[in-house]
Chain A
Amino acid sequence: MTTFWTLLKRDLLLQAREGGALGTALGFYLIVVTMMPLGLGPDLNLLSRIAPGVLWIALLLSALLSLPRIFEADDEDGSLEVMATGELPLELAAAAKALAHWISTGIPLALLAPVLGLLLNLELRAYPALVATMLAGTPAISFLGSAGAALTLRARRGGLLLALLVLPLYIPTLIFGIAAISAATGGPSGFQASFLILAAISLFSLVVGPFAAAAAIRFQTQ
């Protein structure tokens, strides 16, 4: 198991050194959110109603940008093949890399969201729910996204294909994330129920993602 943590630390270190990628994702997040009022008009009432949805969808798209990186670099220099045949089960290696993605990209995006919420006149009482749901939902994005990244590793038009494959898988996370936020702002259903389902989906993806990613990597490195 120490290999798991070593791999995790190594990936985090690599991400930290190569800081540009996170900056790009955050910058993309900011730009997309900025375009919403530009496209829809600056009516603050309208913006505050659509803010949770906009913030969530823009987060999904920004995360999408950084997904290919999870396996690309290691594939290029051959480390992926070593991982595929190494001591640590490939499923755990894939999980470590997805976890690194969540820590280095998912969490920062989730923490940037409230700041962007200011731009969209997000209701005050929605802020805690916003951060909570994003922290609970971004693991699903990283882990399911890692499966998509593995499947499209050597495909042509990999980035676009990745978006097509992975966005439908994000729909449950999106729906329950928004449901939880709107419950916190006085909406119909209860916050707890939506939040727990959101967390359950993320836990589910912790299993499905690495298994699918490992299978995909094995097929492509043998």
Chain B
Amino acid sequence: MTQTDAAPRQTLTQKLANPTRFMQLSGTLMPWFAGAAAALIVYAMYLAFFVAPEDYQQGQTVKIMFIHVPAAWLGMMGYALIAISSFGYLVFRHPLADVSAKAAAPIGAAFTFLALATGSLWGKPMWGTYWVWDARLTSMLILLFLYFGLMALRSAVDDEAMAGKLCAVLGLVGVTILPIIKFSVDWWNTLHQPASVIRMDGPTIHSDLLWPLLISALGFSLLFFALHMKGMRNEILRRRLKSLTMAEVDRARSVSAAAAG
């Protein structure tokens, strides 16, 4: 089949590079994602509270796992998303990559915080203390610091375009050092706790508990993407607003200069 139209076929990312196209596409997709997310989350909660059994070790507190573990996964996925966006921005100059990174940061940070909060509340009945320096909680805490760093850098640089580029560099530095940080925290943890193996989800997960966990994870992931799309849409509109406002200021200025001159 020969291609006779003038425009060459575009890849998906090329198509999405146009903000207006992105607004159209996300406008259709977002309600579906949000709806599916809501449905799955409700179903997962039903399973968690009315179907899933007690854990023989942890009793009912295992129910916290159904929201703690997805939050931890999403905190990490958020940072991976920022890393990919940063790469796309620096290497391919993809126009919406910076928008993606900026939108993902608060959402990822929120889920990381939730992982820490629910982990702490889970820890108290399990180990008797609100905070324990186990490898995974400690890594989550450091991840939260990395998120804070990104958000702080973006707000500390006045020039928005430059802020985006600097955050992209920081994002890539962070993602290269993150595995090293996790490795070192794991090492540190085994050094100081040679005997017990503390795992937040128990040595093995029984399938009765696994199923609600997976549904919950899927539901909250869809929610993440829906919120990310919403954040990107907000950012695109905000930039549009800003450029229109500045254009209007310029025009008013030139009009008054012409009137005075």
A, B assembled together: yes
Chain A contact residues, CB within 8 Å of chain B:
144, 147, 151-152, 154-158, 161, 164-165, 167-169, 171-172, 175-176, 179, 182, 187-189, 197, 201, 204, 208, 212, 215-216, 219-220
Given contacts A164-B145, A165-B170, 19 further A-B contacts (CB under 8 A): A144-B177, A147-B169, A151-B169, A158-B156, A161-B156, A165-B149, A168-B174, A169-B174, A169-B177, A169-B181, A175-B184, A176-B187, A189-B191, A201-B180, A212-B169, A212-B173, A215-B165, A215-B169, A220-B166
Contacts of B158 in A (CB 8 A): 156
Q: Which of B149, B156, B191 contacts A179 (CB 8 A)?
A: B191
- Cβ A176 vs Cβ B166 within 8 A: no
A161 to B145, CA, bound (A): 12
A165 to B157, CA, bound (A): 14
- Cβ A152 vs Cβ B156 within 8 A: yes
Q: Known: A175-B184, A175-B188. Is A151-B166 also a contact (CB below 8 A)?
A: yes
- Cβ A208 vs Cβ B166 within 8 A: no
A-B contact pairs, 30 of them (CB 8 A): A144-B177, A147-B169, A147-B173, A151-B170, A155-B156, A156-B156, A156-B157, A157-B156, A158-B156, A161-B149, A164-B145, A168-B174, A169-B177, A169-B181, A171-B181, A171-B185, A176-B184, A176-B187, A179-B187, A179-B191, A182-B191, A187-B191, A189-B191, A197-B184, A208-B176, A212-B173, A215-B165, A216-B166, A219-B162, A220-B166
The A contact surface, by secondary structure, is helix
A169 to B146, CA, bound (A): 9
Contacts of A155 in B (CB 8 A): 153, 156-157, 166
Contacts of B187 in A (CB 8 A): 175-176, 179
Chain B contact residues, CB within 8 Å of chain A:
90, 142, 145-146, 148-149, 152-153, 156-158, 162, 165-166, 169-170, 172-174, 176-177, 180-181, 183-185, 187-188, 191, 194
Residue of B90, B148, B183, B187 with most chain A CB atoms under a 10 A cut-off: B187
Contacts of A188 in B (CB 8 A): 191, 194
Contacts of A167 in B (CB 8 A): 145
- Cβ B173 vs Cβ A164 within 8 A: no
Contacts of A171 in B (CB 8 A): 142, 181, 184-185
Residue of B173, B177, B185, B191 with most chain A CB atoms under a 10 A cut-off: B173
- Cβ A151 vs Cβ B153 within 8 A: yes
Q: Which of B142, B153, B176 contacts A168 (CB 8 A)?
A: B142
A154's nearest neighbour on chain B, judged by CB, is B157
Contacts of B148 in A (CB 8 A): 164
B194 to chain A, nearest CB (A): 7
- Cβ A172 vs Cβ B181 within 8 A: yes
Q: Which of B142, B152, B173 contacts A208 (CB 8 A)?
A: B173
B78 to chain A, nearest CB (A): 16
Contacts of B181 in A (CB 8 A): 168-169, 171-172
B141's nearest neighbour on chain A, judged by CB, is A168
A42 to chain B, nearest CB (A): 26
- Cβ A219 vs Cβ B166 within 8 A: yes
User: Lowest 7 A-B CB distances belong to which pairs?
Assistant: A172-B184, A155-B156, A175-B184, A165-B149, A219-B165, A175-B188, A168-B145
Residue of B170, B176, B184, B188 with most chain A CB atoms under a 10 A cut-off: B184
Contacts of A179 in B (CB 8 A): 187-188, 191
Contacts of A175 in B (CB 8 A): 184-185, 187-188
- Cβ A164 vs Cβ B149 within 8 A: yes
- Cβ A172 vs Cβ B183 within 8 A: yes
